[in-house]
Homo-oligomer: A and B are copies of this chain.
Amino acid sequence: MKQVRVLFEPDGVVVEGQAGELLLDLALTAGLPLLSECGGQGTCGSCRVQVQSGRVRFLNRSGLEEQIAAPQEVLACQTAAAGDLVVHVPPETRLCPPDERITGYMGPEAAAFLRPGRTGFALGERTPVQLSPPSFDDPTPDWERLLEGLRQARYGRRNITANLDVLREIPPQLRALDFSVSATLVDEGCHHRLIALGQPEQEEALGLAVDIGTSNVKAELVQLRTGRVLAGAAQLNAQVRYGEDVISRIIWAQEHERGADELQDAVTSTVNSLIEELLQETGASQDQIIAVSCAGNATMISFRLGIPADAIRRAPHIAPVGLPPMISGAILGLQVHPQAAVFCLPAINGYVGGDITGGILATGLFEADSLTLLIDVGTNGEIVIGSKDWMVCCSCSAGPAFEGVGIECGLPARPGAIESLAYDPDQDRTTVRTIGDDPPVGLCGNGLVETLASLLDARVIDRVGNLVPDFPSPRMREANGEPQFVLLWREDTATAKDLVLRQGEIDNLLRAKAAVFAAVSTLLEELGLDIAQIDRLYLAGAFGSHLDVRTAVEIGLLPDLPAERVTVAGNTALVGAYITLLSSEAREQVSSLARATTYVDLSTASHFMEEFVAAQMLPHTDLERFPSLVSSEQGRAGGSSSNT
B-binding residues in A (CB < 8 A):
134-136, 139-144, 159, 161-164, 167-168, 170-172, 175, 189-191, 298, 305-311, 315-327, 331-332, 347-350, 599, 601, 604
Contacts and interface: CB of A to CB of B under 8 A. Distances in A.
Given A175-B311, A311-B175, A322-B143, A168 B317 contact: no
Given A311-B142, A349-B139, A316 B164 contact: no
A-B pairs, 3 with minimum CB distance:
A141-B322, A143-B321, A141-B319
A412 to B, nearest CB: 29
Contacts of A347: 141
Given A139-B317, A139-B318, A171-B318, 5 more contacts: A143-B320, A161-B189, A161-B326, A167-B325, A170-B320
9 contacts: A139-B318, A142-B311, A144-B321, A159-B189, A161-B190, A167-B305, A168-B308, A171-B318, A175-B311
Contacts of A332: 164
A315 B136 contact: yes
Contacts of A134: 311, 316, 318
B139 A327 contact: no
Contacts of A310: 171-172
Contacts of A317: 139
A383 to B, nearest CB: 16
Contacts of A327: 164
Contacts of A167: 305, 307, 320-321, 324-325
Contacts of A170: 307, 320-321
A158 to B, nearest CB: 9
Copies of the polypeptide in the assembly = 2
A171 B311 contact: yes
Nearest to A321: B143
A235 to B, nearest CB: 24
B139 A308 contact: no
A584 to B, nearest CB: 14
Contacts of A322: 140-141, 143-144
B159 A190 contact: yes
Contacts of A309: 171
Contacts of A161: 189-190, 325-326
A622 to B, nearest CB: 29
Most buried by B among A159, A167, A306, A309: A167
Contact of A320 (B171, B318, B350, B599): B171
Contacts of A136: 315-316, 601, 604
Nearest to A175: B311
Given A164-B331, A325-B162, A139 B316 contact: yes
A134 B163 CA distance: 36
A168 B325 contact: no
Nearest to A601: B136
A348 B144 CA distance: 10
Contacts of A172: 308, 310
B319 A142 contact: yes
A143 B311 CA distance: 12
A164 B305 contact: yes
Contacts of A190: 159, 161, 190-191
A12 B322 CA distance: 58
Nearest to A166: B325
Nearest to A161: B325
A528 B143 CA distance: 33
A355 to B, nearest CB: 15
A7 to B, nearest CB: 45
Contacts of A164: 305-307, 327, 331-332
A602 to B, nearest CB: 11
A146 B95 CA distance: 39
Nearest to A145: B318
A168 B305 CA distance: 8
